[in-house]
Structures are given as C-alpha cells and as structure tokens.
Structure 1
C-alpha cells in the first residue's frame, strides 16, 4: 500500500459517544441486577427505572453515533483501508457475542450434566441425595426448588415455535434485501428490509406474551431455581439482541429511503445483515437446547 493511501486513513475527532455508551451500559447492568433481586425477593426498588434510563441513554447514544458515522461516510472521508478495519471490527464484535452466549450455554450445560446428577447422588457421590435434598429427583427441567417452589416447564410448542419460524423467515427476508441492494432495486430493498423489521417486532411482542404466560400461568419466574434462572437469562439476553438488531435494521431502512448505499459501497448494510443472521442462529440453538432437550 502506498504512503498516500496510509495518509488517507480517516481519524475522527474526539467524541462523547463512547463515554455515554459506557455510562448507558453501566446503568443497564446495575438496573438489571437490581431488578432481578427485586423480582426474586418480591420487593420494590429502583432497578426497573435504572434499567429504563440505561436503555434510553443507549438508544440516544446509538442514534447520535450513527448520525456522525453516516455523515462521515456520505462525505467521502472513508478509505478502503478503513473499510477493511470496519469489517475486522464487526467480525471481532460478533465473535465476542458468540463468547457471551457460549458462557450462558456453558452454565446451562454445567447445571444439567454436572450439578443435577451430583445432587441426585451419582455413582461417585451416593450420600449427596440423602444429606442435601432427600426428595430430589435428578431430572431436567428442574421444576421444584429446595424451598418447595414448584413451576412448570415452558413447552417448545406454541409461542416458542412460532417465534422460531418468524426468525427463520426474517433471515430469508434480510437476505433478499441484501440481494436486492446488490442489484440496486431500491423498492425491493425497502419491502424486504421492512418485512425483516416487522418480523423482529412480532418476535419481541410474542416473547413478552410468553413471559406473561410463564409468570401468570406456569409459575415460571426468576425465583424458580436454576431452570427459571437459565431460561430467563438466555431468552432475555437474546431478546435484547433482537431488539438491538431490529433498531439497526430500522435505521438502515431509513437510510435506504434517503438514497444511501450502492451495490459497491454498503458495508453498514452488510454489518446489520451479519448481526441479524447471528441472532437467528443463536435462537435456533437456544430453541433446541432450552425448549426441546
């Protein structure tokens, strides 16, 4: 690469958005942690308000940062080298998300294959069952806690199955939008991308309905032992990722409406597409390991 191309590498000015994003994530972490404690102990607090404030700050930060990025891109400030940097950055970001969900799937694996058999009194630990929990039965899902709290497992049929179909279809919609962009068919891009956002919104709505059903009809709550904890952590964090992905695609839809992107220059669209396919794959794994097995 020539010296001139290196000099063309764009370095943006100082920005407040990373700091604001860090503050928003801090509020989300604190709010979510306190909200879980409040729900499990059935007491009131400020966890929910802190969580909402964190999400509001995060959304504001995303819109502000995206606005700056869009202005820089449309002004022709980005070089080919910077484009490669963005691709590498997005790839590492998705890899970090893979590791994030791998930790929760690992916790589920540990609880099911190690902790539950151990409590049931495995061949190497015959006295555990009689001493710690005499009435315990080593089975999954664990629908009864030592405190006597009983619940029901969430079946894979009904809302979970509908949501799986919706996300799989939305992935097809997103791919069709990408194909339309490569063929420069603007109207088709808006249709397919709009359907993707709509499908994501329906998924979120149905997941809220599923949570209401779990709490009111099944007695499945965050206080329902390790099964309830792993169920809500995995599905809840995935729902947050779907929400973020839908917001990203919505912004891309408005950008397409304004005439942004060309068949040769549309990495932002590619990045949003990569992220959406990623959350779809995670849900398929989640549906299999959490709902079916």
Structure 2
C-alpha cells in the first residue's frame, strides 16, 4: 500500500511538510516561534512593572498588550511544534519504542532546562529571604483553603493521568479516555483556582506584583508555574482529542508518555512551591 493510500484509509491529511504548519524536512522552526512567545511573556512582565510604578516610564497598557500578543505567539508555536513532532507521518511510523526514544529524551532535556528556570527563581527567593527583614510589610495570609484545595486537585490529576496510562497499556480504551478527561478537568479547575487566588490578592487585599521584592518572587514563581500548567492542559487536551480518534494503543503511546512526564513535573514543582513559598513564608514569619 502506498503512503498516499495509507493517509486516505485513515482519513489523515498530508504531513506538515506539505501543508500548514510547514517545517523544513526533519528540522522545524516552531520551537523558535515558541521561544519568542515565551520571551515576550517575560518582557510583558517587565513592561507591566515599568508602566505601573510611582513614576511610570511607559503607558500602563504596554505590558498587557505585549503579554496578550506573546501568549498568542506562544500558543501558535506550541501547536505547530506538537503537530510537527507528533501528528506528521503518524500512520507511517512503526509501533516499536525505537521511534519515540528521541522524543522522550527531548522531553527529558526540556524538563532539565525548566528545572534550571525554576531553580533560578527559587534561588532569587531564598536570596531575598535571607537578606530582608521577615516577614515583609503588607504580606497577606498566603495559605488558604483555596490553595489547599488547588493542591489536592493537582495531586489528584497526577493519579488520574497515571491511571489513564495504565489503562492504555492494558488496552482499556474507555478507562484511558476517562482518565485523560478527568486529568484535563482537574487541571482546568486548578488554573481557574489560581486565577481566583490572583483576583483575591490583587482586588481584595491589594497585593500586587509591584508591592516589593517578595511580591515579585511570589507572582514570578506562581505565574510561571500557572503558565506551565496551562501548557500542560493544552498537551493533555491534544492527547485527549487524539485518543477519541483512536490514535493510541498499547504499542503507540509516545506522546501520552511525554505529556505525562511534563504533567508530573509541574505537579512536583507545585508541591515544592507550596511548601517553600506558602507554608515557608508564613512559618518563617511566625518564628520571628
């Protein structure tokens, strides 16, 4: 059977090297688009601080405008990247694990770079914690029932995703899809909970990004993590849609495995973040 016939039999359109998004053979420029969007998000945060201080140097709308544009570029880059990495030539690949080893190692390398990014921000937090009077003035109550509920949701989502993986390997398609759906719902609710937490801090408690060095560390760490959870939800959503189309089996599960690695990583980072940033900040204040 020819390649063209194989695509027709499965109802799958032409590879990404022939339609949108286009790549260049084995190479792809979508990671660069994603990187530009990600860098723009950091730039937007800096513009927001510059534009909302006591003597703003630029218009206050510059930061949000750049942020919205950067998030759009970031999501478009992620879509193109994932499409080029996982969807292209899906039906032409073999079912062995050999073809997925590169993607798995790529994800491991990516998580290593993410660990370095979070490590830099945590180092900044520990640095300001050691050199500043504690607790900082105007620090609101950080540990609330909302934070505890959000933590329980994210931890539960790791269990449901693991259940989905085990179900796939046991060829239980219904449980696999249900596990993915549960993970996606829990992750989405977590994101909504973090948005609500920001609303409470900013609107009701007056705790904003410009309230001092602790606020910059707090919103920097929690905001970066929220962005990662959002990206993880996009990954799980793509896996879920592909699962509904029957594109996974006990032998074909590379993108499920890599998405799961990413999701468990952001879950572990959140637990460490809650212990250090939420409980640690309030405990340190109580001891002084």
Instruction: Provide the TM-score with structure 2 as the length reference.
Output: 0.81
Q: Tell me by how many angstroms 1:81 deviates.
A: 4.6
Mark the CA change 1:273 to 1:280 in structure 2 (over 3 Å): closer, same or farther: same
Out of 215, 220, 226, which is 2:207 matched to? 220
Counterpart Cα distance in 1 of 2:162 and 2:192: 23
Count of aligned residue pairs for this structure pair: 253
Confirm or deny: 8 A CA contact 2:34 2:75 kept in the other structure.
no
Residue segments in structure 1 that go unaligned for 5+ positions in a row:
1-10, 117-137, 144-150
1:86 and 2:103 matched: yes
Find the counterpart in structure 2 of residue 32 from structure 1: 45
Which range moved further: 169-178 or 77-86?
77-86
Which structure has more RCO (C-alpha within 8 Å, separation ≥ 6)?
2
Aligned match for 1:53, one of 35, 54, 69: 69
Q: What's the TM-score, normalizing by structure 1?
A: 0.80
Match of 1:96 among 106, 113, 123: 113
**Greater C-alpha Rg:** 1
Q: Does 1:290 align with 2:277?
A: yes
Distance 1:88 1:153 in 2: 42
RMSD: 2.0
- How far 1:231 sits from its partner (Å)? 0.8
CA–CA distance in 1 between the matches of 2:97 and 2:154?
A: 33
CA contact (8 A) 1:155 1:291 kept: yes
Q: Distance in 2 between matches of 1:76 and 1:237?
A: 35
CA distance in 2, matches of 1:19, 1:223: 31
Kindly report which structure 2 residues correspond to 1:158-169, keeping only aligned pairs within 5 A, or say none: 158-169=145-156
Gaps of 5+ in 2: 1-23, 281-288
Q: Does 1:251 align with 2:238?
A: yes
Deviating more after overlay: 249-258 vs 184-193: 184-193
Which stretch has the larger CA shift, 208-217 or 242-251?
Answer: 208-217
Change (3 A) 1:74 1:204: same
